[in-house]
Structure 1
Amino acid sequence: MNYINEKLILKDSGITWIREMPKNWNIGVLNNYVRVIVSNVDKKKYEDEIKILLCNYTDVYYNRFITSTIDFMEASATKSEVEKFSLEINDVLITKDSETPDDIAVPSLVSEKIPNLVCGYHLSILRPLMDKLDGKYLLFSIISTSIKSQFSSLATGVTRYGLSYKHIKNINICVPPLEEQRAIASFLDCKTAAIDTLIAKKQRLIQLLEEKRTALINQAVTKGLNPNVPMKDSGIPWISKIPEHWEVSRLGFLSTTIQTGPFGSQLHASEYVENGIPLVNPINIQRGNIVADYQKTVNQEVAIRLSRHKLLIGDLVFARRGELGRCGVINKNNNGWLCGTGCIQVRVSKIKVYPDYLNLFISIPWVASWLSLESVGSTMDNLNTEIISTLPIILPPKEEQIKIFQYIELKKYLFDKLITTIDRQISKLQQYRQSLITATVTGKIDIREEVAR
């Protein structure tokens, strides 16, 4: 693979983000090379309509290719909708709205004919004019940074961003001769598949390391560090035996305070400021740590009014909704922050409990499962102070709690260091993949020698 060289005759593209491109290439707007079809088919099913398979937002977002292996949902559509929105081989689907502008127009290529498959709402079909544009070349072009950045800049919205029909059809695209498009698509298919395989292997390695780290923590907080210590039945089926000198308690018996954060109605929009006193909500609890969002803070006057929700060193903060089992411990870096609406504050008795050990125990999968079983709510799992107070806790003597925490911290550091290294490798591979695609579909890489091999 060589970057463009003197053997190629170049011309100025007239577009700043492309600069020069091969002389035999064209550049134009999507509308000249595809038929843009914006779907409005919803997920509902009506008796008087035709039964269909519906290709939804997530089917496109999580799959580069639309194939019969995807478990499409069943829905219904009118005859005119079936005629207009049925999918064909070489159609490229894009997501036309998103929570952020940089995550919009995610593409997927229909690579096989699937009977009764219809494009669903929140998606648009880009149907290439077969004598002008190859579907797979279009797929890679939309993945490229050159087109992604155009879509991002055109997306409009406040809390959710969208692309209009006008935006989509006016996107600029580089268009080589059709045979060269197919050669580029074949080249990128092969190269990106190899990169994706390597990325998948590294992601699997991270998964295995995380599983091993979780198993190590689980072993330490339920069995201890001494494999030869006498054991007894814990009375908890999922945990079974624990060291004989440990006790089983409830979080309520080990705490002096368990309370929810202030109700949202106690706070007004005008009281939120930047770089004030942070609120701790579920989104701020990440992997056992508490991370501030300095866009969502309150002023000193509000902090005084809500002083009963002030968090002190050693306090535990539970997420009380959504993904249960998330918990963090307050340290010197977040001392004085406030417990937010979506969390529960627990202040433990430090005579018997080492808070960092307790946070470690709460991180094991068994706790998340128990909380989920005990949770309340019809549409989302929710916790309350009563549930939190009855959470069973396996408790070693305090000195042993400290030793277990220090041992796990050292092991976690080694695991995290290795995982971070692999994460960086994945990031570099993803960046290389993106650069390769962008350079190729804008004519910055000469693939002729590669194709000739």
Structure 2
Amino acid sequence: MTNLAGANLNNGAAVGPQGEGRESPSSFPEYPAYKASGVEWLGEVPEHWTVQPLKRAIAKIESGTSVNAADYPAEPGSYGVLKTSCVYTGQFDWRENKTVDDEDLNRVSCPLKIDTLVVSRMNTPDLVGATGLVTEAPAGIFLPDRLWQVYFEKNQSASFVFYFTKAPEYREQVKNACSGTSSSMQNLGQDDFRTLLFVEPPVAEQTQIARFLDHETARIDALIEEQQRLIELLKEKRQAVISHAVTKGLDPTVPMKDSGAEWLGEVPAHWETLRIGAVYSEAADKGLAELPVLRVSIHHGVSDKELSEEESDRKITRIDDREKYKRVRPGDLVYNMMRAWQGGFGAVLVDGLVSPAYVVARPKNEDISRYVEQLLRTGCAVEEMRKNSYGITDFRLRLYWDQFKNIVIVIPPEVERQQIMERIDSLINESEALKSEADRLIVILQERRSALISAAVTGKIDVRGWQPPARAQAPVLEAEAV
């Protein structure tokens, strides 16, 4: 892996944060002359550029219609209405659409057009004003009422304006312009959008800047994608090693036996196979007011403290009377009946409370829950829990205690179990450290990308003489390996 803490992107713009002055690598000079923009947050701009409201560049803005639609993409020849998620990644993806219901086919409006900008006019604070440049517009794709389609004047480059909307200078203006009574949902009015300021170079220069950014951001995006692939590979490798350890052990030379459970297959001959109900009993102790309410996550198991709404990844509904919660103790195994087959379970590490809708399994003798949690997180175990759940569709499945207790598991002797958990803990720590480093590199690359776009669209660097290299290469990273 590569450490980017002090890296430079060769042939790229390593530009400092806004307000720290103009920084540019030697390969990208500044413009010969600058002038005051008249806008405090913008500072100086190239002498021959102007600062204009977006309405100068806009020919018209259309919005679509709210229609009923099925939540799957439209097939060729049928009508689809775009989801707001079509602009969430920073690029436009027309495949993010829903199939329009037959009774609403005559209500669709605003068909998708090439060389327009799709804008999210209503969304969360981070996503309101999000944009995507339309480079492909299949027939039969329409806009909903929460998206605009912005057309530009002939003397403007849609690509340049698109890149401007990816700069911090645009995001800050959107933040100040938005309205809404809810902190979780904001609105951007058309008049406010039209009055947002942008820096306008001559159209030929706009085209050149967009061409430059197409090339350079693609190179940075390739590095980001590489780190994201690494994270996925780390996750897959970690799960494969853990799955093998909890079902086959650490010693490849031990004799094996048939477990008697199809999902387990062969296991070490000296391990014990038994039903969950043989080692756990269901518990339903009344809650105590002074104990924390613990969260059960499909990704992280049971929390070791009470999480605030800000710390949680979803809205938390609290029960005022904490005695209505179920009390849990260290060593218990807890699962969400509706999410067990997705990984909604875990071992309890501290005294606390959990939702009364959860099942609490208490070990009868040994403290085995951390091991059992890892065993039940294997792919085959998750499928076994799904098979034992009741419901019409996946998202209505419920795993009741009467079914859960009959699932067969395998338990190694205590010393061996401890060795396996020590190996798993070490593996998880190593994997998390590598993931944290990859996440850090992604953040740095994203910051470099944003800074490069900002520098180009506000004239902090002069790319008029730039030409793509004869052979496109990913950016060379001047950094030390870790």
TM category (shorter chain) comes to 0.7 to 0.9
Q: What's the TM-score, normalizing by structure 1? A: 0.82
Larger relative helix fraction:
1
5+ residue gaps, structure 2, are: 1-12, 14-22, 71-76, 310-315, 470-482
Deviations 1:341-372 (A, max 9, x none): 564333223x3342221222122122222223
1:103 paired residue number: 127
1:92 paired residue number: 117
Determine whether 1:314 maps to 2:327. Answer: no
CA distance in 1, matches of 2:388, 2:345: 17
In the TM superposition, what are the counterparts of 1:408-427 in structure 2 within 5 Å?
A: 408-427=424-443
Code of the residue aligned with 1:407 in structure 2: it is R
CA distance in 2, matches of 1:260, 1:187: 65
CA distance in 2, matches of 1:159, 1:390: 47
Determine whether 1:447 maps to 2:474. Answer: no
Determine whether 1:171 maps to 2:196. Answer: yes
The alignment partner of 2:274 has SS state of strand
Q: Cα offset for 1:261?
A: 9.6
The alignment partner of 1:104 has SS state of coil
In the TM superposition, what are the counterparts of 1:102-251 in structure 2 within 5 Å?
A: 102-131=126-155, 133-153=156-176, 154-158=178-182, 160-166=184-190, 167-251=192-276
CA distance in 2, matches of 1:370, 1:173: 57
The alignment partner of 2:67 has SS state of coil
Contact 2:295 2:302 in 1 (8 A): no
1:374 paired residue number: 388
Code of the residue aligned with 2:294 in structure 1: it is V
5+ residue gaps, structure 1, are: 263-270
Contact 1:277 1:297 in 2 (8 A): no
Alignment counterpart, residue 37 of structure 1, candidates 43, 46, 62: 62
Deviations 1:230-281 (A, max 9, x none): 111122223211111222223232223345998xxxxxxxx9xxxx854223
Distance 1:382 1:444, change over 3 A: farther
Code of the residue aligned with 1:211 in structure 2: it is E
Q: 194-203 or 395-404, which moves further after superposition?
A: 395-404
Contact 1:150 1:171 in 2 (8 A): yes
Code of the residue aligned with 2:81 in structure 1: it is L
Q: Cα offset for 1:387?
A: 3.8
2:413 paired residue number: 397
CA distance in 2, matches of 1:110, 1:392: 53
2:44 paired residue number: 20
Distance 1:152 1:280, change over 3 A: farther
Code of the residue aligned with 2:345 in structure 1: it is C
Q: Cα offset for 1:439?
A: 2.2
Q: Cα offset for 1:62?
A: 4.5
Q: What's the TM-score, normalizing by structure 2? A: 0.78
1:268 paired residue number: none
Contact 2:54 2:194 in 1 (8 A): yes
Deviations 1:114-145 (A, max 9, x none): 223212343221222222x3121122111222
Code of the residue aligned with 1:373 in structure 2: it is K
Contact 1:311 1:338 in 2 (8 A): yes
1:267 paired residue number: none
Distance 1:168 1:234, change over 3 A: farther
CA distance in 2, matches of 1:261, 1:91: 59
CA distance in 2, matches of 1:118, 1:210: 38
Q: Cα offset for 1:189?
A: 0.7
CA distance in 2, matches of 1:398, 1:206: 33
In the TM superposition, what are the counterparts of 1:1-80 in structure 2 within 5 Å?
A: 3=24, 7-34=31-58, 35-44=60-69, 52-62=79-89, 64-66=91-93, 70=95, 72-75=97-100
Structure number with higher relative contact order (C-alpha < 8 Å, ≥ 6 residues apart) = 2
Deviations 1:362-414 (A, max 9, x none): 22122222223333445544433334333332211222211110111112222
CA distance in 1, matches of 2:195, 2:357: 43
Same amino acid, percent of matched pairs? 26
Q: Cα offset for 1:195?
A: 0.7
Deviations 1:45-73 (A, max 9, x none): 9xxxx953333223333471446xx3754
Alignment counterpart, residue 352 of structure 1, candidates 358, 361, 366: 366
CA distance in 2, matches of 1:380, 1:159: 31
Determine whether 1:435 maps to 2:441. Answer: no
Contact 2:335 2:345 in 1 (8 A): yes
CA distance in 1, matches of 2:217, 2:328: 48
The alignment partner of 2:40 has SS state of coil
2:303 paired residue number: 290
Code of the residue aligned with 2:338 in structure 1: it is R
CA distance in 1, matches of 2:285, 2:115: 53
Q: Cα offset for 1:101?
A: 0.9
Contact 1:61 1:95 in 2 (8 A): no
Contact 1:354 1:402 in 2 (8 A): no
Determine whether 1:338 maps to 2:353. Answer: yes
Q: Cα offset for 1:310?
A: 2.4
Q: 205-214 or 102-111, which moves further after superposition?
A: 102-111
The alignment partner of 1:256 has SS state of strand
Distance 1:78 1:25, change over 3 A: farther
Task: Report how many aligned residue pairs link the two structures.
Answer: 423
Contact 2:65 2:107 in 1 (8 A): no
CA distance in 2, matches of 1:44, 1:138: 31
CA distance in 2, matches of 1:297, 1:86: 41
Q: Cα offset for 1:17?
A: 2.6
Q: Cα offset for 1:109?
A: 1.3
Aligned residues: CA RMSD: 3.2
The alignment partner of 2:264 has SS state of coil
Code of the residue aligned with 1:416 in structure 2: it is E
